[in-house]
Amino acid sequence: MTADVETISGPTPARQSQKEATRQRVVNAARELFDTHGYQGTTIREIARHAGVAVGSVFTTFASKGEILSQVMQARIDPLYAELDRVMPHLHGSTLDRLRTMFAVHIAFEARHMRLFLSHIAAAYDWTLSPVARPYGADRRLMDVVRGCVEKGVEDGELRADLDVADVVTLLMAAYAWTYRLAITSNADAKGLIAAMDRQLALIVEGLKPTA
User: Element (H or E) spanning 14, and its range?
Assistant: helix 13-37
User: What is the model's pLDDT at position 1?
Assistant: 47
At position 194, the amino acid (one-letter code) is I
User: What is the model's pLDDT at position 6?
Assistant: 47
Where in the chain are the domains?
Answer: 1-62, 72-212
pLDDT range class, residue 129, cuts 50, 70, 90: confident
> Class for domain 72-212, per CATH?
mainly alpha
At position 56, the amino acid (one-letter code) is G
The answer to whether the beta carbons of residues 58 and 65 sit under 8 Å apart is: no
Distance from C-alpha of 147 to C-alpha of 141, rounded to nearest angstrom: 10
- What confidence tens digit (pLDDT) does each residue in 22-67 have? 888 999 999 899 888 888 888 999 999 999 998 888 888 888 888 8
Interior CA angle at 175 toward 73 and 120, to 5°?
20
Give the whole-number percent of the chain exceeding pLDDT 70: 93
User: What is the model's pLDDT at position 124?
Assistant: 86
Question: In 59-202, at which residue ranges do the beta strands (DSSP E only) sit?
Answer: none
- What confidence tens digit (pLDDT) does each residue in 130-166 have? 777 888 888 788 899 999 999 999 999 999 999 999 9
| Closest to 55 (Cα-Cα) out of 29, 16, 17 | 29
Q: What is the mean pLDDT of residues 80-90?
A: 78
Whether the pTM exceeds 0.75: the reply is yes
pLDDT range class, residue 192, cuts 50, 70, 90: very high
- What confidence tens digit (pLDDT) does each residue in 200-211 have? 999 999 999 998
The answer to whether the beta carbons of residues 35 and 72 sit under 8 Å apart is: no
Distance from C-alpha of 159 to C-alpha of 171, rounded to nearest angstrom: 15
Distance from C-alpha of 70 to C-alpha of 135, rounded to nearest angstrom: 6
Please tell me the CATH code under which domain 1-62 is placed.
1.10.10.60
Question: CA 86, 133, 36, 107: dihedral to nearest 10 degrees?
Answer: -30
Per-residue pLDDT for 113 more than 50?
yes
Higher-pLDDT residue of 185 and 70 is 185
